[in-house]
Homo-oligomer: A and B are copies of this chain.
Amino acid sequence: MTNALKIGVAGLGTVGSGVVQVLAANGDAIAERCGLPIHLSAVSARDRGKDRGIDVSGARWFDDAVAMAADPEVDLVVELIGGAEGVARSVVETALSRGASVVTANKALVAHHGTALARRAEAEGAALAYEAAVAGGIPVIKVLREGLSANRIERVHGILNGTCNYILSTMRESGREFGDVLAEAQELGYAEADPAFDIDGVDAAHKLAILTALAFGCEVDFEALHVEGIRGISALDMEYAEELGYRIKLLGIAERRDSGVVQRVHPCMIETTTPLAQVDGVFNAVATVGDFVDRIVAEGRGAGAGPTASSVVADIMDLARGARLPVFGVPAERLKRLPTLPMTAHVGAYYLRLMVVDRPGVIASIADVLRDEEISVEALLQRGRAPGEAVPMVIATHETTEAKLRRALKQISALETTLETPRVIRIESL
């Protein structure tokens, strides 16, 4: 064994502490696999006095994470602070600027500044590794960039947010409403006190933006994503989904078309028998379709100290072993600018749930609108209550365009017999 790889860890929260634990527990095996030991040379966090249950006494302490990133004694900087701007961004830029490689779990940073950071890293001969930024412990970055690299990737889609998947799974299993299950998830620590980032789809969108760049060799373009969260899903939708043979999942979907890419995060109905429909609870799963390999699905824990630290340390080990791949699989200056297609161009089937007055002629007036927009109906479910009361009416359409659907919805919403804003969930055959 030659000299050690000296790493500096910025951020000692859940993931940072997990990284220290992995290195402590498996250091010998890691050194054997790498051909040299990984030495925790420096750490930085906000509160030096806090008891984190880890031993960092062998590492130099920095109150200033940016100063640590600039320290020439640190060979590799591990950024686990989080956030697209501020200290996290400065740490990464400082390290790369002096040619030091960076390992990060920061999905927001890579989603917002990935292209620029990749250019900077490659110009300086440094690496920027971010396995832990997407799907926690699942090595999906490695699978896409290396394992499936012989393929032209056609589609990547997945369950990228464990909080949403936990909520949706629990709603389905228990029949309870969204707000109720969210409150429970917060108590259990599966959802943040401010859950917006997860349940509005932003976290999944960060991850999808990264996967899109990697899959299609294009610049990261987070702003172009279409993002919808899961706040609008009700227990009633869960019931109808089951009746129609579907599960409701929040998916991130990236597809390559001749005219550009599709990048979208939204609730989907998928057939009960597809692999992703079976993935419940806090688990993540990513499916990749390549022209030769067909579909590969990887499933595992998408968050948590252990799984995320597993990916962070795997990145460190790759770099210790001498790996130096372009950040997004092809050199950053060759990343393409591919247009993201608008959702109005989306073609697919739809689930519509309307609340209507139960009286003669209601179905006919809705059917007229759909016919006029050339939307054909695959299934229609309506069960009566007392005449004159509000009843749910569910329509599953055949394939149509989102533009047509939106026009139809506008007209249906304007009908006097329509009592609430219609609920729309895209049906995906993946």
Contacts and interface: CB of A to CB of B under 8 A. Distances in A.
A295 B314 CA distance: 16
Interface stretch (A47-55, A303-311, A389-397): A303-311
Most buried by B among A148, A152, A291, A292: A292
Given A296-B299, A299-B297, A147 B151 contact: no
A100 B389 CA distance: 79
B310 A290 contact: yes
Given A294-B137, A322-B322, A310 B150 contact: yes
Contacts of A22: 150-151, 292
Interface in A277-318: 278, 290-301, 306-307, 309-314, 316-318
Nearest to A35: B331
Given A150-B30, A298-B298, A18 B139 contact: no
Interface in A212-259: 217
A310 B334 contact: no
A150 B317 contact: yes
Contacts of A143: 139, 142-143, 147, 298
B313 A150 contact: yes
A205 B326 CA distance: 37
Contact of A26 (B131, B152, B313): B152
Given A147-B139, A150-B314, A314-B148, A306 B292 contact: yes
Interface string A125-157: 000000100000111001100111111100000
A149 B293 contact: no
Given A32-B217, A278-B278, A324-B322, A146 B294 contact: no
A323 B217 CA distance: 21
Contact of A138 (B137, B150, B217, B296): B296
Interface string A399-413: 000000000000000
A32 to B, nearest CB: 5
B291 A25 contact: yes
19 contacts: A22-B292, A30-B149, A137-B293, A137-B296, A139-B296, A142-B146, A143-B147, A146-B146, A147-B311, A150-B309, A292-B307, A293-B311, A294-B300, A294-B301, A294-B307, A297-B300, A322-B322, A322-B324, A323-B323
